Amino acid sequence: MQVFKHWVVFLWCCSSLGSIEIAMAQEAKLPEVFPNRVIRLVVPFTAGGPADALARNLAEGLNKRFQYQVIVENRPGANTAIASQYVAKSPPDGYTLLLGSDAGMSLAPATQKNLSYDPGKDFVGVAMLAQLTQILFVNSGVPAKSVQELANLARTSSGGLSYASIGKGSQSHVSMEALNQILKVQMIHVPYTGAANAITDMLGGSVQVMMASIATPLPHIKSGKLRALAIAGPERSKELPDVPTFSESGVAGFESRGWFGIVAPAKTPPQILNILSRDIWAVVQSEPFISQAIEDKGFDIPKVSPAEFPDFLAKDRMKWKTIVDKLGSALN
């Protein structure tokens, strides 16, 4: 009888230990508090530009407001493909994010063959940071003061006019070729590897025309070194209220708008995406971010909420694919 009692006690102990081990294993599988370590925000542009400033303002806002630890890591090159591929192949844990844009998420799949990542499959939208409108501008030495005058000059100039872009397949390139078709002119494309070099040559007069986001030429337009001709958006810019839209300039319906936003690797857990989108959107809607990171840089306050952002990304990809397909060989 005594032996039987000891055997029962032994079995109970084994059962209890087994229950404890199972409980510990289940506890170990519970999601960790997010975030509890440094988040890397990868920027596919060089340091010092408007996009980089936008990312750094977001990082500062998250660090101050939510006690995050966010560091900005610049990985420029290949029209955003280097940074995009890097983040696409990073662990989907919320600790490596990408400053996405129309360049890498919408235009690249439409203009580049054998892209090393698939925006639709490799990324998920977290939150939009800013929207941006393109502006057509010229070197101050160019006599044209309107879109129609520029078109007439392009037709009659003996040497022709050349336009700068921030790279083949970029929005500044695609938009200018679309405008060429509408105006029935052929300005010569001069691609650059970024906005800084393009603006330098615009100021020097090596190229005469360019279309880029308002933030890029804004200081030089205000100083009088460059002249704005038209805004490629539905309404005039608060920064440049005297510059007409393309519709007001006789080119009805012509628009070219871009965006910046945070995207994460696909398969990032929904609970982490919810935390990120909630906190990022809170910073984006805060007064310091709006005044310093958006309006001061010539960007537009985003009108796409985090819940709408994934659907916006899919529609934006389709929009630019349609435009690129229509232009065809003009982009070669």
pLDDT in tens, 148-193: 999 999 999 888 899 999 888 889 999 999 999 999 999 999 999 8
**Residue keyed to tokens 């920064």:** 239
pLDDT band at 332 (very low <50, low <70, confident <90, very high): confident
Please say which residue of 212, 231, 250 terminates a domain: 231
**244 located within any domain:** no
What would the mean pLDDT of 305-314 be, rounded to a whole number? 97
The pair phi, psi for residue 73, each rounded to 5°, is: -125, 115
Q: Is residue 277 part of a domain?
A: yes
How confident is the model at residue 195, as a pLDDT? Answer: 85
pTM score, whole prediction: 0.83
Tell me if 51 sits within 8 A of 194, measured CB to CB.
no
One domain, residues 141 and 213: yes
Does the pLDDT at position 14 exceed 70? no
Same-domain pairing of 269 and 225 = no
Q: What is the pLDDT of residues 212-224, one digit of tens each?
A: 999 889 999 999 9
Within a domain: 25 = no
pLDDT bucket at 48, cuts 50 / 70 / 90: confident
Task: Check which CATH number belongs to the domain holding 283 and give it.
Answer: 3.40.190.150
Do 171 and 204 reside in the same domain of the chain? yes
Rounded Cα distance, 185 and 177, in Å = 9
What is the mean predicted confidence (pLDDT) over 31-36? 80
Domain boundary among 231, 248, 280: 231
Task: Please report which confidence band the pLDDT of residue 26 belongs to, taking 50, 70 and 90 as the band edges.
Answer: very low
Instruction: Share the mean pLDDT of the chain.
Output: 89
Confidence of residue 32 (pLDDT cuts 50, 70, 90): low
Please give the C-alpha separations between residue 216 and each of 134, 166, 296, in angstroms, as whole numbers. Answer: 9, 11, 12
Q: Which residue has the higher pLDDT, 302 or 78?
A: 302
**Rounded to 5 degrees, what are φ and ψ at 92?**
-80, 65
Same domain, 145 and 222: yes
Same domain for 118 and 265? yes
Task: Judge whether 69 lies within some domain.
Answer: yes
Q: How far is CA 248 from the centre of its chain?
A: 28
- Whether omega for the bond prior to residue 35 falls within 30 degrees of 0, making it cis, is yes
Q: Give the pLDDT band of residue 19 (cuts 50, 70, 90).
A: very low
pLDDT tier, 7 (very low <50, low <70, confident <90, very high otherwise)? very low
CA pair distance 50, 328, nearest whole angstrom: 31
Q: Three-state SS string across the chain, please?
A: CHHHHHHHHHHHHHHHHHHHHHHHHHHHCCCCCCCCCCEEEEECCCCCCHHHHHHHHHHHHHHHHHCCCEEEEECCCHHHHHHHHHHHCCCCCCCEEEEEEHHHHHHHHHHCCCCCCCHHHHEEEEEEEEEEEEEEEEECCCCCCCHHHHHHHHHHCCCCCEEEECCCCCHHHHHHHHHHHHHCCCCEEEECCCHHHHHHHHHHCCCCEEEEECCCCHHHHHHCCEEEEEECCCCCCCCCCCCCECCCCCCCCCCCEEEEEEEEECCCCHHHHHHHHHHHHHHHCCHHHHHHHHHHHCCECCCCCCCCHHHHHHHHHHHHHHHHHHHHHHHC
Cross-strand bridge partners of residue 309: none
- Regarding whether 318 and 293 lie in a shared domain, the answer is yes
pLDDT of residue 8 exceeding 60? no
Residues 137 and 226 in one domain: yes
The range of the structural domain enclosing residue 179 comes to 133-231
The CATH number assigned to the domain holding 189 equals: 3.40.190.10
Backbone angles phi, psi at 273, to 5 degrees: -60, -40
The residue assigned the tokens 């060089």 is 46
**Distance from C-alpha of 248 to C-alpha of 129, rounded to nearest angstrom:** 28
159 within domain boundaries? yes
Are 141 and 112 contained in the same domain? no
Of the candidates 183, 194, 175, 200, the one whose C-alpha atom is nearest the C-alpha of residue 144 is 183
Average pLDDT, integer, range 117-130: 97
- Based on the domain organization, do 46 and 124 belong to the same domain? yes
Residue 194 lies in a domain: yes
Q: Are residues 65 and 118 both part of a single domain?
A: yes
Question: Same domain, yes or no, for 225 and 142?
Answer: yes
16 pLDDT more than 60: no
Q: How many domains does the chain have?
A: 2
Q: Are 57 and 280 in contact (CB under 8 A)?
A: no
**Helices 171-183 + 309-327 axis angle, to 10:** 50
- Let me know: does 299 contact 131? Beta carbons within 8 Å: yes
Q: Could you tell me if 222 and 289 lie in one domain?
A: no
- Confidence label for 317 from pLDDT (cuts 50, 70 and 90): very high
Q: What is the pLDDT of residues 130-151, one digit of tens each?
A: 999 999 999 999 999 999 999 9
Report which of residues 50 and 23 the model is more confident about. 50
In a domain, 23, yes or no: no
Rounded distance between C-alpha atoms, residue 8 and residue 13, angstroms = 9
pLDDT at 56: 97
Q: What percent of the chain has pLDDT over 70?
A: 90
* Residue 127: predicted pLDDT: 98
Query: Where does the pLDDT of residue 29 fall: very low under 50, low under 70, confident under 90, or very high at 90 and above?
Result: very low
pLDDT band at 311 (very low <50, low <70, confident <90, very high): very high
Q: Which of 68, 104, 70 is nearest to 86 (CA)?
A: 104
The residues facing 130 across adjacent strands are: 260
Q: What confidence score (pLDDT) does residue 302 get?
A: 96
- Residue 177: predicted pLDDT: 96
